[in-house]
């Protein structure tokens, strides 16, 4: 397995609409999608920048992963997503190399992409997502 690129950077925010203003007004980016991912208890906003994206994440439930994260650490960078060819294979391969997985099974994330998370304990403290079309 070889990570192809940084697919996106996930940033936890307290308020999606307020945060979008910074990315559009200060950085001059365009928000091209706002999407709720019920499974992860978040609303997301996406911006393209070069070949990668910024994904803003607002919690829809204080007990969801982003709600808990903001509670503990406050808003800020939440995860880095690497584009991979096949998400399930990449997860299996990482696990075989001793990486602790959050998702043993690839699941559907925002933008209809397959995703799976690796545990930050195994990745130097960086919550890591694999992301791909398969």
Burial class for 80, CB neighbours closer than 10 Å (0-12, 13-18, 19+): middle
For Zn ion, what does the binding mask look like between residues 92 and 131, x meaning CB under 5 A?
Answer: -------------------------------------x--
Could you say which residues in the range 54-73 bind Zn ion, by CB under 5 A? 55
Residue nearest Zn ion by beta-carbon distance: 10
For residue 134, the surrounding DSSP H or E stretch is none
- 81 scored as a contact of Zn ion (CB under 5 A): yes
Give buried/exposed letters for 48-69 (b at 16+ CB in 10 A, else e). Answer: eeeebbbbbbbbbeeebbbbeb
Question: CB 6 → Zn ion: shortest distance, Å?
Answer: 11
Nearer to Zn ion, 58 or 129 (CB): 129
């Amino acid at each position: 397995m070889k990570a192809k690129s940084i697919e996106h950077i996930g940033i936890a925010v307290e308020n999606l609409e307020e945060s979008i203003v910074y990315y559009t007004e200060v950085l001059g980016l365009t928000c091209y999608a706002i999407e709720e991912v019920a499974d992860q208890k978040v609303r997301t906003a996406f911006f393209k920048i070069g070949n990668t994206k910024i994904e803003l994440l607002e919690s829809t439930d204080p007990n969801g992963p982003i709600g808990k994260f903001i509670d503990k650490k406050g808003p800020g960078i939440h995860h880095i997503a690497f584009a991979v060819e096949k998400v399930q294979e990449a997860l299996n391969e990482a696990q075989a190399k001793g990486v602790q997985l959050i998702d043993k099974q690839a699941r559907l994330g925002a933008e209809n992409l397959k995703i799976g998370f690796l545990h930050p304990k195994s990745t130097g403290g960086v919550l890591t997502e694999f992301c791909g079309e398969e």
